[in-house]
Amino acid sequence: MPIERYDGPREALLGLFALADDSPVQIASYIGLGDVLVARREGVIIGHAQIIATDEPGVLELKSLAVLAGHRGAGIGRELVEATIAFARDQSALSLVVSTATADIGNLRFYQRRGFRMTRIVPDAFRPETGYPDGIMIDGIVLRDQVFFELKLAD
């Protein structure tokens, strides 16, 4: 599956961003940042990965990652992460970080299988004050806490 840099209007990818994040407020705050890679099938964008700079020198963040439901389970997310890692290395990044909800068991497994290691947890990151409605459930678990992962790219 070819993965390529996307230079079009980010609003065209809003549906994918919404698959990755339940907060329109949060999406609006970062959708225009950094670089976006996309996966296409027969010319149609079916997945994306957004990479942004962090406040830490040499550290990039995989801010948003999503694959359309009908295309999941085919390795496209894995390919997008591999392309993101290659992109970060091309930028001479020392590490790549990503965060997800502690309630999202699938994402926890996914990132660890890619070599990412948990580094910290932010309690109560997902609440109305940060743009997330109460009562969101993931895998039968209330959405509350955020976990950060890191992949070292250089020693």
pLDDT digits (tens, 9 = 90+) for 97-147: 999 999 999 999 999 999 999 999 999 999 999 999 998 999 899 999 999
Torsion of CA 144, 64, 93, 56, to 10 degrees: -40
CB under 8 Å to 112, separation ≥6 — which residues?
118, 149
The answer to whether the CB of 39 falls within 8 A of the CB of 80 is yes
Task: Identify the DSSP state of 33.
Answer: S
* pLDDT for residue 1 is more than 90: no
The token duo for 84 is: 């993101």
The token duo for 66 is: 């999503």
Per-residue confidence at 154, pLDDT binned at 50, 70, 90? confident
Global pTM reads: 0.93
Name the percent of the chain lying above pLDDT 70.
99
- Segment 77-81 shows an average pLDDT of 97
Per-residue confidence at 155, pLDDT binned at 50, 70, 90? low
Element (H, E) at 25: helix 24-30
Name the percent of the chain lying above pLDDT 90.
94
| Pairing relationship of beta strands 95-101 and 59-67 according to DSSP bridges | parallel
pLDDT at 30: 98
Alpha helices in 1-155 (DSSP H): 14-20, 24-30, 76-90, 105-113
- Segment 55-60 shows an average pLDDT of 96
